Structure 1
Amino acid sequence: MNNWRKIDQIWCAWPSKPKALIEMVGGSYIAATPHLSYSKLLGRLLKENFAIHAWSYVPGFDHQAQANQAWKALRKCRIKLESRIGCNNLEPIRIGHSLGCKLHLLAPDGGRKSHSFIGLCFNNYKADKSIPMLGKIKQKLKIQSEFSPSPKETMNLITKNYMQKRNLLIKFNSDNIDQSELLLEHLKARGDDESQLIKCNGNHLTPMNTGIKSILLNQINANSHENNNLEQLIALISKYASQ
């Protein structure tokens, strides 16, 4: 906790001489306090001398607007870090979890200003599937609500506008809402692509801190298998981010 400070919407942790910068966008409703929700994952990467910038947000329906907002906030914070360490060309490693993947992929620079992208548990469902109560509310209030861009529009935009070739997609074997394989198809359709998908043990909540997972899963203690899965994920991310 003592390593973190907040600059506008970004939680930051800076080693004195970082070897690289990680820009993190977390998943729905757990990314308001990313330094807590992902404390073990981000804390371990910080100990390995990565600077960490994690965007704090509450999800809405206009994902393109939030993608733009995240990109601007992360860019502003990156400029501050560059000024501090005397470097003006940091190329961040972007990490997204769940909805955070989509927001990174919709960034207005198309991924061109990044070193690489690591996508954890990508999903791109319609609003009424992502928000279980929405279907009932829509019927009762007679309103139409959908994410913008829609799932189909999102994939078309990624194929058309997303330029980053180096993408590592991580899918967990017990995650039944993951759509990483669909994303990989669209990334590969661009041609001259270096994206890869790796399947790991775990579930949709594996990237998160153990305490948060226990609350969400209504378990008193997270089991040792989950801790091992998170350790393996951290090692995988660290290795890829160091290449």
Structure 2
Amino acid sequence: MNVNITDKDKIEIGGSRDLYGIMQRILLRENEIDREKEHFWMIGLNLANTILYIELVSMGSVRATQVEPMNVYRVAVLKGATSVLAVHNHPSGRMTASETDKDITDRLIQVGKILNIEFLDHLIISPERYMSFVDTGLMAQLEKSLKYVPTYQIEERIRKQELEIREEKEKKDEFKETAQAEKALRVETEKQKEAIKITVVTNLLDKNMTVEEIAAILNLTPKEVEQLSKDKTA
């Protein structure tokens, strides 16, 4: 969901403090309705490091909402962002990155490299303070991580999906005047995404990877991986 921002918020981001100044105001605004829920935002920047958009990717719990890297980068591809940042709040006020926070960041770094969209930083925020992965050295550690470096086949599928997203944008630009055409495009996009997942799962199973290994790479549950493998044979 796109977050409405004013022209004064479309500033150049020179560091974590600049971003927190904007996100603090957004968090306080969101807290009026959903004070106890965890929000996960993505911020896209242009070549000048100026904010292009702020997107609310999920709300509730990062673990529960199953943040998928390609869904996170979807808007970045559509809007031509050259770099992105992630921000999420901890309702408890605890400014420590959990293992889930680190895993999500690790995945986003790897997918960003494939798409040539730089993942700059991840902030954990509360109404009073914030923590930056860059400022604390966590980003430097995760940049060296090999945990979620994708295999060649997965990298190719991600690139293919990026191309399909760009093609979708072109189609949407052509038919955006017709609501019916937009609806058909959304349905087709979901089918394409599902087909890509099925193909990737099938390829990895053919490589003798376990369901658990595939689930870890694709950020899915083992049950979802098993269902995708069944869909292929259906």
Q: Whose relative contact order is higher, 1 or 2, with alpha carbons under 8 Å and at least 6 apart?
A: 1
Larger Cα-atom Rg: 2
Q: What TM-score does the superposition give when structure 2 sets the normalisation length?
A: 0.32
Higher helix proportion: 2
